[in-house]
Amino acid sequence: MTTPRTDLHDLADEGKRVRTRTDAASLVCAYLCFLVLVPARLVIGGLPLDIRPSLLLGLGLGLCWLCAQMVDNLGMAKGRNPARTAIFCFAASQVATYGYATWKYLPADELKSADLSFVTILGLLVVGLLVCDGIRTIDRLDKVLQFVVVACAVMAAIGLFQFFTGFDLTKYMVVPGLREVGSGEAVLERSIFRRPSGTAGHPIEFGVVCAFAVPFAAHYAFRAQALGVKTRKWWVMLLVLATGATVSLSRSAILGLLVAMIFLLPTWPAKRALQTVVAAAGFLVVLRFFVPGLVGTLVSLFSNISNDPSIQGRTDDYATTSQTIAENLWLGKGFGTYLPSRYGPLDNQYLGTIVENGLIGLAALIALFLAGMWAAGAARRSTTDPHLRDLAQTMLACTAMLGVSSVTYDTFAFKIASGLMFILIGAAGALQRILRAHRRSFSAPTMRISAKALAAWASQGMASARAHARHPR
């Protein structure tokens, strides 16, 4: 049996605008606006916890997912899905850790942080569930991923304005009902350069988010080129995002881009891969000409890593975690209770997960990344359409990017990056389910039913012929 080819034009019409009712994709796009475009330092005023507007909306979307799962007429997908299972396992580990941590005594500041962290991670993972189960077609999934690219490109443009002018636009992005937390400084410095944050909470998060969106921008640019539609907007957004990832001066962002290239280039046609490598080299040359010293600073981030004071400070902090890990090996100290102000920062999500969630939480986190990669790989294998195969491979590459980058920064300390991570894993599960359902519609049982119908029609025709022979006109 050969795998049927999925016609992209049947699944997503790039040239037509179709009015549809509000669905999960529309709700997720609204959530992305609050997640990416509202400055990270703004939280809802009048609440004892520092809750961002995106978190409140995410919890509301989780309630929508739960209610829709209780009925059969709202289009919410059911049945087994590796991405959903991994999200549930991760949620279970968080519930176990929270119960274990709050069962014993915690200082007031650690207890407050544990409460906020638990609510935050719950609001993030339920959005992943809504994406996984609520998006039912390729065109709606495309809309969400395209909106991710647009929102991240807007954030990158704000960051580039900060980098070149030193002027922080986010200070004037005031929303009624919200208050500021933290220092409010969106532009830091490294070497002789400014490090922009855009609307993110830190330049590291800004760089990782820009790098995350680069492969998707490239995918939609190449797709539009293949379909013969307008490509300029995608190439412009790709350039803005790549520049944003570069000027962030973040090891995590550069490492993420390299990981994405490793996963994508071997699967691309040779001509496209060669063009990409040449374009990347040309981009660095132009950047070196217009921003002298920037490329050299990026190279030094890796060449002088052993002498970098920030790296030495991190390794010193790692040595202090051994006793905490030994005392709470399986379920950890409590998610959010290892306060940087008291114990020092942990710029390694895997180490932070061992400290705060134990070995069980670490296994759940690794399983989360692996499930997203497996779902994307399974989706790629289930279709012969080159565009959908490239979309699945892009999801796989971005999941691997986030998994590897988590070694160099604490993912869950940054709400935009972690929110996009759960959306990506949910999207991988949705893509696998959609393509699997499409494949089943053309599977062998369907062909057998058609054969039976054909045999019935043939026998009916023969009976009519015999009756006509017995009673000619």
> Which structure tokens are listed for 205?
């998060």
What was the pLDDT predicted at 1? 38
C-beta separation of 393 from 261 below 8 A: no
Helix, strand, or coil here: 228?
Answer: coil
> Which structure tokens are listed for 207?
């760089």
Show the DSSP H helices in 166-269 as ranges: 203-227, 232-247, 251-264
C-beta separation of 97 from 356 below 8 A: yes
Q: CA angle, 273 as apex, 267 and 277 as ends, to 5°? A: 135
Which residue in the block uniquely carries the two structure tokens 């069962």?
103
Phi, psi for residue 43 in degrees, rounded to 5? -130, 170
Which residue in the block uniquely carries the two structure tokens 């209780």?
70
What was the pLDDT predicted at 10? 46
C-beta separation of 352 from 338 below 8 A: yes
What was the pLDDT predicted at 452? 52
Q: Give the contacts of 221 (CB within 8 A, at least 6 positions apart).
A: 231, 234, 235, 238
Spell out the domain ranges in the chain.
21-441
C-beta separation of 295 from 64 below 8 A: no
C-beta separation of 49 from 112 below 8 A: yes
Return the C-alpha torsion angle 423, 428, 434, 436, nearest 10: -160
C-beta separation of 242 from 214 below 8 A: yes
Query: What DSSP character marks residue 333?
Result: S
163: closest CA among 186, 145, 129? 186
d(CA 390, CA 377): 10
C-beta separation of 354 from 394 below 8 A: no
CA-derived radius of gyration, the chain? 25
What was the pLDDT predicted at 127? 98
How remote is the C-alpha of 314 from its chain's centroid? 26
Which residue in the block uniquely carries the two structure tokens 């981030």?
301
Question: What spatial distance separates the first Cα and last Cα of the chain, rounded to whole Å?
Answer: 47
List per-block mean pLDDT (blocks of 10 residues) for the chain, which spans 473 residues: 44 49 92 96 91 96 95 89 97 97 94 96 97 96 98 97 92 90 72 89 95 98 93 96 96 96 96 95 93 88 71 65 91 94 88 96 98 97 95 98 94 96 98 90 49 51 53 52
d(CA 422, CA 415): 11
